[in-house]
Each structure stands twice: as C-alpha cells, then as structure tokens.
Amino acid sequence: MFIKRTIIPLLVLMVFVAAFTAGCFNKSAKDTNATPASVGVIDMTKAVQAHPKYQQLNTLKQQFNMLVAQAQAQSKQQPGSSLSSVKPLQDHAALNTAFEQEYKEKMSAKQSELHQSLVAKADQLRSQLATEFKEYTDEIDKEYQPQIFSLQLKLKTLQLSKEELAAFQAELEKVQQIRSDKLAVKEKQLTEQMDKTMAPAQVAVEQELAAYSQQLNNQLAQKAAAKGAEIEARNSAVADANRLANAATSNQIREIEQQAGMKKQEASVLEQAIIQDVRDKAAKVAAERQLDTIITNIQINVNAVDITEAVIAEFKKQ
C-alpha cells in the first residue's frame, strides 16, 4: 500500500464578528450620530508561524513526510514475485539443453568407437580372403596359364592359314574365358563369405549401440531428475525467501503507514489548536480595541487596523 502525501492546510479563512456592547446592536437605524463600525485585519500566516507551538507543528509535518518517503522506498525495494515463476523455467530449459548435448556427444563417440572396431574386423577378414583368392588364382593359373601361353605362342610363331588362325584364336579365348569365369565365381563366393561373416558383427554393433543408448538415457534421466529436484528445491527456497521478505516488508510498510497516520492526526490536532488560539487572541485584542469586525489576509485596500503584531504579543504573554 502506498501512502499519498497529504498537505495539511495552514490557513483557514475566517471572519470574526464581535459585538462588544449591547448598545451597538440596539441603536436605531435612524440614529445619524452612530459611530462607524471599526474593522481589524490579521495576517493569519504570520500569526500562525509566530505561535509558540508552530515549530512543533512543523516538526510533526516533517516527520510525516519522512515516514511517507520511507514507506515509498520500502515499497520499491520489495522483492518481486516473478523470480519464482520465471527462473525455474529457465533452469529446466538450460538443463535439458545440456543433457541433450551430452547425449549427442557420448553417442557420437560410442558410434565412432564401434565403427572403428567393425572396420578393423572387416579389414582383417578382407585381408584373409584376399590371400585365399590369390592362392586360388595361383592354382587356376597353374592349370590354365600353360594352355594360354602355348596358344599365344602358336599364334605368334606358326604360319597358319586363315582357318587355323581362327581356330587357335577361338580356343585361346575359350580357355581365357574359363579362367575368368572360375575366378569370378571364386570372387563372388569370397564376397558372400565376407558379407555372411560380417553380418553378425554388424548386428552386434547395432545391438551394442542401442543398449548403450538406453543405458545412457537412463543415466542422464537420473541425473536430470536429481538436478531438477535440486533446482526445484533451490527455487522453492528462493520463493519462500521472497514470500518472507515480502511479508516482512509489508509489515514494515504497514507499521510505517500507521506511524504516518498518527503523525498526520497529531499534526492536524495541533494545527487546529494553534488556529483556535489565534482566533481567541484575535477576539481578545478586538475586544480591547473595540473593533467590530476582524478579517483575515485581506488583499485589497481597506480602512482597517492591523492587529497581527498585537496577537503575536499575546502569545509572548503565555
């Protein structure tokens, strides 16, 4: 709650009408020898400020203003309620991002590790099959290479007719084709053997990667739950601290408001007492000087007696 500063009026416009003798009111309207009414004027501001208790009134007003300013300052410093609602969302978002990044990095490292292991096994098997293929090629060459060489030599050295040349050439191509076909069959067999041998290893790698992913997810989920609980506990503590601080500040503000209200009431009572005292003293001076009317703070030229100093002099007699 904010306290709006209240300005306590200092000046009250008042008119004192004093009847000093019964004869003044009983004179006939036709009496041409009646004395003109006497008028007095008083500077209320000056009279009030000269009152012995004016300094006390001024002190009360200053104290009231200080209390109002203090309450406003306390209200501005009061902790907000947005921290407990916004900060947890920010923490959880950052936490999820961190765990997602950790999962990606560890999965990438594991996948690279398993891939390298699979590649190493494939290279080893490929080397073995290459050796086997070379040995088979050597055996095939022992069988077919002499025939090929002999036919090639005949084609280059013998004087052959066109028909003989065609026959030798056809036989050479046939032998070469048989050799190539056998090597192709062997190569296909070895390729199928490699695929068959590597298939279980590939499945094992995929299963191991899936198991690792599940294990990693469980670990990170546990870490996230623990960290989330820590965040919730921290934010709950912050929220509790904010509520306590708000409650304490609100209590302080209420106390200050109550003090300000009391100061305001005290100042108002004292001000009214000062004004009433000024009225009483003005009435006394008016009676002593036989003035019919007293007006306050007049701003126009009138034929009136200024009794301000006389009223102030009355204060000094107290």
Q: Confidence class of residue 22 from pLDDT cuts 50, 70 and 90?
A: very low
Q: How far apart are CA 15 and CA 43, in angstroms?
A: 12
Q: Is 293 helix (H, G, I), strand (E, B) or coil?
A: strand
- Per the prediction, the chain carries an average pLDDT of 81
Report the alpha-carbon angle 81-85-88, nearest 5.
135
Name which of 114, 121, 124, 117 is nearest 207 in CA terms.
Answer: 114
At 15 the pLDDT is 32
Q: What's the rounded mean pLDDT across residues 269-288? A: 93
Q: How far apart are CA 44 and CA 279, in angstroms?
A: 9
Q: Number of helices (H) and strands (E), helices first, in the chain?
A: 6, 4
Neighbouring-strand partners of residue 295 = 15, 41
Given a contact cutoff of 8 angstroms between Cβ atoms, the answer to whether 57 and 270 are in contact is yes
Tokens of 282: 């003005």
Q: Confidence class of residue 7 from pLDDT cuts 50, 70 and 90?
A: very low
Which numeric CATH code is attached to 15-80+257-316? 3.30.910.20
State pTM to two decimals. 0.45
Q: Where does 34-133 show beta strands of DSSP type E?
A: 39-42
At 229 the pLDDT is 85
pLDDT of 154 > 50? The answer is yes
Percentage of the chain beyond pLDDT 90 is 57
Give CATH 3.30.910.20 domain extents, the chain. 15-80+257-316
Least confident of 171-185, 209-223, 299-313: 299-313
At 144 the pLDDT is 94
Q: Confidence class of residue 277 from pLDDT cuts 50, 70 and 90?
A: very high
Report the alpha-carbon angle 180-183-188, nearest 5.
125
Q: What's the rounded mean pLDDT across residues 90-115? A: 88
pLDDT in tens, 43-53: 999 999 999 99
pLDDT of 23 > 50? The answer is no
At 227 the pLDDT is 86
pLDDT in tens, 200-254: 999 999 999 999 999 999 999 998 888 888 888 887 888 777 777 777 778 888 8
pLDDT in tens, 53-95: 999 999 999 999 999 998 888 878 765 544 444 454 456 788 8
